[in-house]
Amino acid sequence: MKKKWALITGASAGIGAEFASQLAAKGWSLVLIARRTDKLSEIKRMLIKKHQINCHALSIDLSKVKANQEIFNFCQENDIHISMLVNNAGYGIPGDIEATDWKTLQDMIQVMLSSLVELCHLFYPFMKRCHEGQIINVASIAGLMPAKAARTLYGSIKSFVINFTQSLHLEARDFNVHITALCPGFTYTEFHDVNGTRNLVKKVPKNYGWMLLMWFHKD
């Protein structure tokens, strides 16, 4: 059977690492993307040992403008044809917009919005030509909720991701390419350590850690 390749961003922890684990268990070959070399290499070694799959780990910072083209070039040069793209990389920045310098905000937009769109733009055409493929854009329930003060960008970006995914679905539905927006609610990962909300999340009942999945089916 021909090996299928999945590419996962933000694969060093949390939802991205879980995607990698679940797909590896099903025999998928993987290209894992994250900034943390040590963590990514550890996951790669574990998955290869446990599931005997093909796996590449690329330590790449998606806030760099040329990062996505670098990922695409690697796949092209190694004859890797991506059948599933999981755009998972993301984080939150606490506080009002005026309290954060522009470079920090710009990096967040690049990682969570521009990079996601560019990776779709790079890898979707091959899926369309093959009449087979899947793109999963990890959004958030925050993108479906009313806006609120502080963390100004996060919900706005996730709202864009949901709407962008819907639009891309409409373009892809006649070509057997499935486009999905995954909208997690409270999920117990390192995300909350990074954005400084760990103590708040600890107060949320465990059974509230559900996930809302929006799957835009072919009509």
Q: Give residue-wise pLDDT tens across range 2-44.
A: 689 999 999 999 999 999 999 999 999 999 999 999 999 999 9
69 found inside a domain: yes
Which residues lie closer than 8 Å to 56 by C-beta, 6 or more apart?
30, 31, 32, 44, 74, 78, 80
207 found inside a domain: yes
140 found inside a domain: yes
Structural domain containing residue 46: 5-214
Which pLDDT score, from 0 to 100, does residue 150 have? 79
Residue 144: pLDDT over 70: yes
**Closest by CA position to 122, among listed 181, 73, 56:** 73
Q: Structural domain tally of the chain?
A: 1
- Per-residue pLDDT band for 91 (boundaries 50, 70, 90) equals very high
Which pLDDT score, from 0 to 100, does residue 219 have? 39
Mean per-residue pLDDT, 186-203: 52
Which pLDDT score, from 0 to 100, does residue 187 have? 59
Express as a percent the part of the chain with pLDDT over 70.
84
219 found inside a domain: no
- Per-residue pLDDT band for 116 (boundaries 50, 70, 90) equals very high
- Residue with more model confidence, 204 or 25: 25
Which pLDDT score, from 0 to 100, does residue 104 have? 96
Which residues lie closer than 8 Å to 126 by C-beta, 6 or more apart?
81, 82, 133
**Closest by CA position to 5, among listed 30, 34, 40:** 30
- Domain containing 47 — which CATH number? 3.40.50.720
94 found inside a domain: yes
- Residues paired with residue 154 on neighbouring β-strands, in sequence order: none
Cβ 155 vs Cβ 147: under 8 Å: yes
Which pLDDT score, from 0 to 100, does residue 94 have? 85
Mean pLDDT of the chain: 88
161 found inside a domain: yes
**Closest by CA position to 87, among listed 174, 160, 25, 151:** 160
- Per-residue pLDDT band for 199 (boundaries 50, 70, 90) equals low
- Per-residue pLDDT band for 85 (boundaries 50, 70, 90) equals very high
Direct distance between the N- and C-terminal alpha carbons of the chain, in angstroms, rounded to an integer: 30
173 found inside a domain: yes
Q: Spell 24-54 as b/e; 16+ CB within 10 A means b.
A: beeebbbbbbbbeeebbeebbeebeeebebe
For the stretch 101-114, pLDDT in tens is 999 999 999 999 99
Radius of gyration for the chain, computed over Cα atoms and rounded to the nearest angstrom: 17
164 found inside a domain: yes
